[in-house]
Amino acid sequence: MPAVSTNDLKNGMSLNLQEGLFSVVEFQHVKPGKGGAFVRTKLKNVRTGAVIERTYRADEKLDQALIDKREMQYLYPDGDSFVFMDTTDYEQINAPRTALGSAADFLKEGDSAVLQMYEGEIVGVDLPAAVELEITETEPGVQGDRVSGARKPATLETGLQIQVPLFVNIGDRVKVDTRSGEYLTRVGS
């Protein structure tokens, strides 16, 4: 594993520490009047999402984790797994739903995603900022019930439940924010 100096840290860099695999959220070089310089960091555990703060001496060596990002196409569900195909060499892999986290709620067959892999394990999924999905189940909007900003629950084709405006109906396609899981807009008509 390549060693990286704490002086060379960058946001988004991945580190393999004793506690696990971490991503640098932010860092700050501090040079006090007395004593040696140090680096204050905020690190996010890639697997659990927990954030920790650590302080290191300047020029201390840490193990850098090289994350392989591969563009994959989601083919079909297989039990509790998702089958992906690498778009460059057509190799297929099975990814457990738990490894995909919340990204599983936004993937439909044929969609592309960038899987972040570390030593053969999926440690993250990059999705587009928004995806278009079809409404499969929701209550019909009542004529005359047009309270501004009123919402109702709706189920998407992936099984995810979100809140949508009253005018959205079954069969409508909606754009959903993949970071927050919120309704953005209705697509087409």
Question: How many whole angstroms separate alpha carbon 8 and alpha carbon 38?
Answer: 12
**Residue range 138-166: average pLDDT?**
82
**Residue range 79-98: average pLDDT?**
91
Question: How many whole angstroms separate alpha carbon 184 and alpha carbon 189?
Answer: 15
Least confident of 52-66, 115-129, 135-149: 135-149
- Look up the pTM and report it: 0.74
pLDDT, tens digit, 9 for 90 and up, residues 29-63: 999 888 889 999 999 988 888 899 999 999 899 99
Domains of the chain (ranges, CATH numbers): 3-63 (2.30.30.30), 68-126 (2.40.50.140), 130-187 (2.40.50.140)
Question: How many whole angstroms separate alpha carbon 126 and alpha carbon 102?
Answer: 11
Least confident of 50-54, 84-88, 120-124, 128-132: 120-124
